[in-house]
Amino acid sequence: MKIACGADHGGVDLKDALKVYLEKKGIEVVDFGTTGHESVDYPEYGHKVAQAVAKKEADYGLVCCGSGIGISIAANKVKGVRCVRAHDPYSAEMSRRHNNCNVIAMGGRFLGLDMAKKCLDVFLETEFEGGRHSRRVDAIEE
Ligand code: RB5
């Protein structure tokens, strides 16, 4: 499995910690930045990660900003990307089961690392149910 990740200055610490967490599990991570705390604009990083997922250069995307809101909006502008802002494991699970989300967004100023790890694990481990949900996801894509 390959994960593309990216963040602005508000989400960089969470992104970096989750990157280490994923790599320790043996998951390949492609990091699109940012790398420090200097103020940057989240659309750039949301777009880069979303493009990588849309082009199938990565299986899933992880994006973080201060709230998880702006970067999720940016990621969702890329065709083929369905990004969920998930701050609880049930949202992360349902976003996979029913919506086939391929990018997860979390807020570095909202979420502790343990909860973020739980959300990410559930997101990556849950399969899309397909069936009637495929029709709805296809309609979104159209
Ligand atoms: C940056 O201060 C902040 O606005 C950004 O990280 C994010 O929370 C936007 O939605």
The ligand 1 atom at the shortest distance from the C-alpha of residue 11 is: 6
Pairing of strands 28-31, 83-85: unpaired
* 8 in contact with ligand 1, CB cutoff 6 A: yes
What global pTM score does this model have? 0.98
Please tell me whether residue 98 adopts helix, strand or coil conformation: coil
For residue 5, indicate whether it is catalytic. no
Task: Considering the candidates 65, 83, 101, 119, report the single residue annotated as catalytic.
Answer: 65
For residue 82, report the distance from its CA to the centre of ligand 1, in Å: 20
Tokens 């199938």 label which residue? 56
Q: What is the pLDDT of residues 36-87, one digit of tens each?
A: 999 999 999 999 999 999 999 999 999 999 999 999 999 999 999 999 999 9
What is d(CA 71, CA 115) in angstroms, rounded to the nearest whole number? 19
For residue 9, indicate whether it is catalytic. no
Contact 64, 57 (CB under 8 A): no
> pLDDT value at position 139?
97
Contact 104, 18 (CB under 8 A): no
Q: In which band, very low, low, confident or very high, does the pLDDT at 119 lie, cut at 50, 70 and 90?
A: very high
Q: Count CA within 13 A, CB hemisphere, residue 33.
A: 14
Mean pLDDT along residues 11-24: 98
